[in-house]
């Protein structure tokens, strides 16, 4: 009798739980709205370049590489590629990384004399068993891959470094110094996500310093099931908080790209206290539906977005 009672009770529980599960609302369907590319700061030429790739049916990985290459070749931008401001010893050293929709990644750090760090990072991803190459090894690999070697220190950046050398006072200025580091995220017509990030890092940094931009999870993270995020600003703070990975994980938990960027900034604010007055951090994020968001600590940050409705530079909301 007792056995029958236990059996009946179990059966009832199973039926009850199954009914409950059946009543749960289904996870929201993914509504993909078509190719989108977003970039940090005001980079309309880069987003145009990337969007052209997407609009002609190209892949997200090709799009973000193309957009970043454009900024790397732009000598007027003093925080990416050619024309980047040097470290305190007068050396221009580049950091970059790239991630594709299959979860592959490649990065270069402390790369000298090669303009297209993002493309070298892609070669690391595609042609080597490694994720990251540094310094002389990265340069040697780039040469072996056929990348041209050239001096990246332009007359203008050399003159600025000379001026800085008069005092050698080191304090990165919010939004003013190094405001062009480019992080790009794209979703292509197949709904696949990729991202890339490239920079010459902080001007007048210590020789050997590496920031967040080439660090997977800090300066960039892509999970093709969920979304992608990239960062700009004071790399030390972004690394300490693994900012881009955090944003993608928040989106995995159901946050929108905007909410996820806001929470990640709040995390840095909470951990940094008063120090936030001295530095800027900005995040941008894109999810699987093509929705995007951005948030920064201080005003002055912006995002450039190109989708079917056009190319637009949008001021980012901020904590302050």
Question: Whose Cβ is closer to ligand SD4: residue 35's or residue 233's?
Answer: 233
Q: Which one among 211, 217, 290, 293 touches ligand SD4, defined by CB under 6 A?
A: 211
Q: How far is the CB of 127 from ligand SD4 (least distance, A)?
A: 25
**DSSP annotation of 183:** E
Question: Whose Cβ is closer to ligand SD4: residue 23's or residue 176's?
Answer: 176
202 binds ligand SD4 (CB under 6 A): yes
Question: Whose Cβ is closer to ligand SD4: residue 54's or residue 185's?
Answer: 185
For 8, list phi and psi in degrees, rounded to 5: -65, -40
**CB-based contact 279:297 (threshold 8 Å):** yes
86 binds ligand SD4 (CB under 6 A): no
Question: Whose Cβ is closer to ligand SD4: residue 194's or residue 198's?
Answer: 198
The Cα 195–Cα 144 span in angstroms is: 25
The Cα 34–Cα 188 span in angstroms is: 7
244 binds ligand SD4 (CB under 6 A): no
Known catalytic membership, residue 128: no
Q: Helix, strand, or coil here: 302?
A: strand
Question: Whose Cβ is closer to ligand SD4: residue 201's or residue 257's?
Answer: 201
84 binds ligand SD4 (CB under 6 A): no
302 binds ligand SD4 (CB under 6 A): no
Q: Which one among 77, 84, 233, 293 touches ligand SD4, defined by CB under 6 A?
A: 233
Of 158, 156, 147, nearest to 91 by C-alpha is: 158
Name residue 37's beta-bridge partners. 186, 306
79 binds ligand SD4 (CB under 6 A): yes
Stretch that binds ligand SD4, among 143-151, 157-165, 208-216, 221-229 (CB under 6 A): 208-216
The active-site residue, picked from 40, 47, 93, 181, is 181
**CB-based contact 304:39 (threshold 8 Å):** yes
Residue 169, burial from CB neighbour count under 10 angstroms (0-12, 13-18, 19+): exposed
Q: How far is the CB of 197 from ligand SD4 (least distance, A)?
A: 8
CA 267 to the chain's CA centroid: 18
232 binds ligand SD4 (CB under 6 A): yes
Residue 177, burial from CB neighbour count under 10 angstroms (0-12, 13-18, 19+): middle
Binding mask 161-200 for ligand SD4 (x = CB under 6 A): -----------------xx-x-----------------x-
- Per-residue burial over 82-95, b = 16 or more CB atoms within 10 Å of its CB, e = otherwise: bbbbbbbeebbbbb
Residue 152, burial from CB neighbour count under 10 angstroms (0-12, 13-18, 19+): buried
**CB-based contact 179:200 (threshold 8 Å):** no
Stretch that binds ligand SD4, among 48-56, 84-92, 124-132, 229-237 (CB under 6 A): 229-237
235 binds ligand SD4 (CB under 6 A): yes
The Cα 29–Cα 27 span in angstroms is: 6
Stretch that binds ligand SD4, among 124-132, 230-238, 260-268, 305-313 (CB under 6 A): 230-238
Active site residues: 181
Binding site for ligand SD4 (CB under 6 A): 79, 178-179, 181, 199, 201-202, 211-213, 232-235
């Amino acid at each position: 009798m007792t056995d029958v009672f236990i059996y009946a009770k179990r059966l009832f529980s199973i039926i009850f739980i199954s009914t409950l599960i059946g009543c749960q609302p289904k996870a929201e369907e993914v509504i993909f709205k078509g190719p989108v590319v977003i970039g940090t700061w005001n980079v309309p030429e880069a987003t145009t370049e990337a969007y052209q790739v997407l609009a002609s049916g190209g892949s997200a990985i090709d799009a973000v590489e193309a957009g970043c290459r454009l900024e790397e070749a732009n000598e007027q931008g003093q925080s990416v590629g050619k024309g980047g401001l040097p470290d305190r010893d007068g050396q221009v050293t580049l950091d970059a990384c790239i991630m594709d929709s299959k979860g592959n990644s490649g990065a270069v750090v402390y790369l000298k004399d090669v303009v297209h760090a993002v493309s070298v990072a892609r070669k690391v991803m595609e042609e080597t068993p490694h994720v990251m190459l540094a310094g002389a090894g990265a340069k040697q690999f780039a040469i072996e891959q056929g990348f041209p070697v050239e001096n990246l220190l332009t007359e203008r950046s050399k003159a600025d470094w000379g001026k800085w050398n008069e005092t050698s006072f080191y304090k990165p200025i919010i939004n003013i110094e190094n405001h062009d580091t480019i992080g790009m995220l794209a979703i292509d017509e197949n709904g696949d996500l990729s991202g890339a990030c490239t920079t010459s890092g902080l001007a007048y940094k210590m020789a050997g310093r590496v920031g967040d931009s080439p660090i997977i999870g800090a300066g960039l993270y892509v999970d093709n099931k969920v979304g992608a995020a990239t960062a700009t600003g004071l790399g030390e703070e972004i690394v300490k908080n693994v900012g881009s990975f955090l944003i993608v994980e928040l989106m995995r938990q159901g946050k929108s790209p905007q909410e996820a960027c806001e929470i990640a900034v709040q995390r840095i604010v909470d951990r940094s206290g008063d120090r936030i007055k001295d530095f800027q951090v900005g995040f941008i994020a894109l999810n699987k539906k093509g929705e995007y968001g951005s948030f920064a600590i201080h005003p002055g940050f912006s995002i450039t977005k190109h989708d079917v409705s056009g190319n637009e530079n949008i001021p980012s909301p901020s904590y302050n």
